[in-house]
Structure 1
Amino acid sequence: MTLNSFALAGFACATLLSAAMASAQNGAVAPSAPIKNVVLVHGLFADGSSWQKVIPLLQAKGLHVTAVQNPTTSLDADVDAVRRTLAQQDGPTLLVAHSYGGMVISQAGDDPTVAGLVYIAARAPDAGEDYPALTRKFPAAPASAGLQWSADGYGKLSEQAFVQDFAGDLPVVEAETYYAVQQPVGKAITMAKTTVAAWRDKPSWYAVSSEDRTINPDLQRFMANRMHARTIVLKSSHVSLLSHSAEVAGLILQASGE
């Protein structure tokens, strides 16, 4: 090999190494092969139907998609529901979460079958972090004022808060439909802390909702930056998975390697 050949080979290796290091620092190393399994995890005040616009877009690309029905009674119960679903997957799996579901996948995402994590306007606490304390470092999101608790310890958003602050960029009739299937949240969730932050070890993606009135957009940006996630910003309410389903599906497809 000539001296010039050695120099060119060295330059090529250095370039590839630099690119790999940059990707790793961004937390978005592309999978070596496309991921075919996607598990979708809904947040609070919702159920699996909140993914109904995203699911057919993913299935049309040949992905095997499962939407978990979280009981939203406790973090442990929701993590168990996700782990049961992961056990049914055949091969590497992408975990995708909306809102509070981000806590769930941060905890359950240490499963060896999980190849990556996608957060959609989602919570992403560090291990042992007090999430309510973290939210207080940012201006309060308006939806929190509409949380109502029953005598038996279950919470729901008021109709006004749901339609205006949770799903504010949906047509009112559509928002009212999702309000009708709102799932109550157990009070234990408000005090729960994750013991794992899977995003510290797994490639991560994040979709920030810039018009969010449920989780402060600046808090979302902080969490996305902290995890070095590959990030997009959508001019959306909290429910971007419904109002910007094509863009959300596009991010999931990117994360899957499709």
Structure 2
Amino acid sequence: MKNISKNIIRITMAVGIAFAALFTPSVAHAQQAAPVKNIVLVHGAFVDGSGWKPVYEILVSKGYHVSVVQQPLTSFDADLTAVKRVLDLQNGPCILVGHSYGGGLITEAGNDPHVVGLVYIAAHAPDKGESEADNGKRMPSAYKSLQKPANGFDYIDPAQFPADFAGDLPKKEAEFMANAQMPTADQVFHAIIQNPAWRTKPSWYMVAKADRIINPDLERMYAKRAGSHTVEIEGASHSVFLSHPADVARLIIEAATGSSK
């Protein structure tokens, strides 16, 4: 009887160990798959972070913690520092989103350990050794309204801004953007990317099919090269973040969900 009892104990222990081995990886996986709830939004050239408000409101209403970077557009290094400063405030993993020139910033800043996914909204996504200015020459954009004064801070001719930058927005809103634009240091467009985060982290890309600021074919090239999950928005101007906030928010949520798997 004693031998039988010992055998039962041994069998019971073996079964317990087997169950522990079976379910422990699942528990660990469940911990790793916690949903990403932090979103960091980075604006592009000639605008500021307030343009993200419609996207911000949608994301916040769905329970996300959203931070908006207000980089000064005075130099690439200063702008990158502003992004990193906000990333340092995150209390967990985050999705980093960039529009236009902001794409170059998230390409470098995305190496931060807080960042688990990148979202490009009609944005540049240069590779190592590239600049957005040089890439723009490969596939020229449609607009001709860029002004380059002697002080080194570029701007878009306000009279042509609505058609070139915001062609799918109401006229009054586009005119306000034109006259509230932030002159941007020309040097930021020539910054050379050193360590593109999209090579090691998952990315999502939104192509604005009627973009006059960045050639949509260049956007497609960026997305294909990075292996991004890609969506294209019919009739969308460069201001797609304002004209199609629901689509933008949906892509960001897809990234937040996908990066948690």
Give the conservation status (yes or no) of the 8 Å contact 1:42–1:97. yes
4+ residue runs of structure 1 moved beyond 6 angstroms? none
How far off is 1:188 after superposition?
1.5
Ranges in structure 2 where 5+ consecutive residues have no aligned partner: 1-31
Structure 1 residues 30-49: aligned runs within 5 Å:
32-49=33-50
Deviation string, structure 1 residues 64-92 (Cα, Å, up to 9, x no partner)? 00110011111111110000000011000
Give the conservation status (yes or no) of the 8 Å contact 2:152–2:185. yes
Structure 1 residues 10-159: aligned runs within 5 Å:
32-138=33-139, 140-143=140-143, 145-159=144-158
Larger Rg: 2
Query: 2:185 is matched with which residue?
Result: 186
Whole-angstrom CA distance in 2 between matches of 1:162 and 1:33: 43
Ranges in structure 1 where 5+ consecutive residues have no aligned partner: 1-30
* TM-score, scaled to structure 1: 0.85
SS in 2 for 1:222: helix
Aligned-residue CA RMSD (Å) = 1.3
Give the conservation status (yes or no) of the 8 Å contact 2:134–2:190. no
Give the conservation status (yes or no) of the 8 Å contact 1:47–1:181. no
How far off is 1:162 after superposition?
1.3
How far off is 1:43 after superposition?
0.2
Query: 2:257 is matched with which residue?
Result: 257
Structure 1 residues 199-214: aligned runs within 5 Å:
199-214=198-213
Deviation string, structure 1 residues 81-129 (Cα, Å, up to 9, x no partner)? 0000000110001100100000000011000110100000000000111
How far off is 1:61 after superposition?
0.7
Whole-angstrom CA distance in 2 between matches of 1:202 and 1:163: 35
Whole-angstrom CA distance in 1 between matches of 2:147 and 2:243: 25
Give the conservation status (yes or no) of the 8 Å contact 2:101–2:189. no
Identity over aligned residues, as a percent? 48
Amino acid at match of 1:126: D
Deviation string, structure 1 residues 15-68 (Cα, Å, up to 9, x no partner)? xxxxxxxxxxxxxxxx82211110000000100011011000000011000110
Whole-angstrom CA distance in 2 between matches of 1:43 and 1:126: 18
